[in-house]
Amino acid sequence: MKEVNQFKIEDDDDIVNLMSSLKSTGFNAKRLAIACEIYKQMIRDKDCVKFFGLAGALVPAGMQKIIHDFIEEGYIDILVTTGASLTHDIAETLGFHHLQGNLNVTEMSDSELHNQDLNRIYDVFLPNNVYEGIEGFVSKLEIPDPNMPVSSFLKFLGDTLPKNDNSILKICAEKNIPIFCPAFTDSGLALQLGFHHQNLNFNHFIDMLKMVDLAWDAKKAGVCIVGGGVPKNFIMQSLQFCPNSASYAIQITMDRPEQGGLSGATLTEAVSWGKVNEKAKYSTVIADATIALPLILWYLKKATK
């Protein structure tokens, strides 16, 4: 059994040194360091298909470029996310911006915010005119096929959006990384599509079966879950069909397991379902993704060079 290491931080340390030190500690510091290491192994393992589940308002919180760079660097092979994340991504890609609220969220009441057409996402504000901007874009889309799979529509969307160095949809389209969004109609984007385009019936079943095929064909699977929700479950239900289940698994969440919801479920639980292999390397980091994700990206960029 190894001793806990009482490590020192030097001001000229780098993120790789830091994670190396944290690996010999305990609690979530250790879990974060192990998550970094597992992700590095996923990247180096040429047989590993890397599934990435993204829930939570990460784009409003300034993490769009972080996600973008995970994709650009090749750290994500398949992205599963929410309609809200895509809506926020389009907003920023079209040149609109989320605003910083005060740290002390009580300084302006939500009634006042409402009167000023500011929608609040914890301490970030989304002005109503952003939605109008998205609407202008959405209403003019020439959708090739009202019955196309959601993922094909998202590819089309990425191709159609203007050039932008931060856009998740854009970089996925450019690199042919599929985006799945099983709860697509649960989003502002889908509402505007529904209002402006007749007879849409994007196919969700084809995407579901395609995900199963992707898992089925994966020699090895690795998964990184940010924030739980539908993206987590959609990846996990597919991994049951992966011949070896997931060999690597990371999740970053603030949810807790005791009330039985899937978002907070441990990765160990997923072993019972055959979603994660019993010999998999896995780590759950109980942390706000806005802190953990930039650190992991920083580590990966440095450690995989």
The count of C-alpha atoms lying within 13 angstroms of the C-alpha of 180, restricted to the half-sphere facing its C-beta, is 26
Alpha-carbon distance 261 to 33, whole Å?
A: 26
Nearer to its own copies, 141 or 206 (CB): 206
State yes or no: residue 184 binds its own copies (CB under 8 A).
Answer: yes
Q: Segment 146-175, which members bind its own copies (CB under 8 A)?
A: 147, 166
137/180 with CB nearer its own copies: 180
- Select the residue interacting with its own copies from 141, 143, 161, 209 (CB under 8 A): 209
**For its own copies, the closer CB: 62 or 133:** 62
When asked if residue 289 is in the footprint of its own copies (CB under 8 A), the reply is yes
Query: Using CB under 8 A, which of the segments 43-51, 137-145, 213-221, 290-298 binds its own copies?
Result: 290-298
| Active-site entry in 275, 301, 302, 305 | 275
Stretch near its own copies under the rule CB under 8 A, chosen from 46-54, 171-179, 213-221, 224-232: 224-232
* Binds its own copies by CB under 8 A, chosen from 81, 152, 233, 247: 233
Alpha carbon distance 229, 43 (integer Å): 24
- The one-letter amino acid at 138: V
Identify the CA nearest to 231 among candidates 160, 289, 280.
289
291: tokens are 């802190």
Which of residues 47, 129, 219, 273 is near its own copies by CB under 8 A? 273
In what helix (H) or strand (E) does residue 290 lie, and over which residues does it extend?
helix 289-303
Q: Is 187 in the site for its own copies (CB under 8 A)?
A: yes
Query: Binding of its own copies at residue 18 (CB under 8 A)?
Result: yes
Cβ–Cβ < 8 Å for 43, 74: yes
The answer to whether residue 4 forms part of the interface with its own copies (CB under 8 A) is yes
Q: How far apart are CA 42 and CA 48, in angstroms?
A: 6
Say if residues 58 and 226 touch (Cβ distance below 8 Å): yes
**Token match 């959708």: residue?**
143
**How many Å is the Cα radius of gyration of the chain?**
20
Give me the least distance between CB of 293 and its own copies, in Å please: 9
Q: How far is the CB of 140 from its own copies (least distance, A)?
A: 19
275 is catalytic: yes
Backbone φ and ψ for 283, nearest 5 degrees, come out as: -155, 125
Q: Please list every residue from 53 through 92 that binds its own copies, using CB under 8 A.
A: 55-57, 59-66, 69, 84, 92
Tally of residues, the chain = 305
According to the binding rule CB under 8 A, does residue 133 interact with its own copies? Answer: no
Of 29, 17, 6, give the one whose Cα is nearest residue 292: 29
Binding residue for its own copies, selected from 20, 22, 134, 218, defined by CB under 8 A: 22
222 binds its own copies (CB under 8 A): no
Question: Rounded distance, CA 124 to CA 229, Å?
Answer: 21
Residues 232-269: b if buried by 16+ CB within 10 A, e if exposed? bbbbbbbbbbbeebbbbbbbbbebeeeeeebbbbebee
Applying CB under 8 A, the span of 39-47, 136-144, 214-222, 283-291 interacting with its own copies comes to 283-291
Q: Considering the rule CB under 8 A, would residue 113 count as an interface residue with its own copies?
A: yes
Contact call for residue 109 and its own copies (CB under 8 A): yes
261 binds its own copies (CB under 8 A): yes
Contact 122, 290 (CB under 8 A): no
8 counts as binding its own copies under rule CB under 8 A = yes
User: Catalytic amino acids?
Assistant: 275
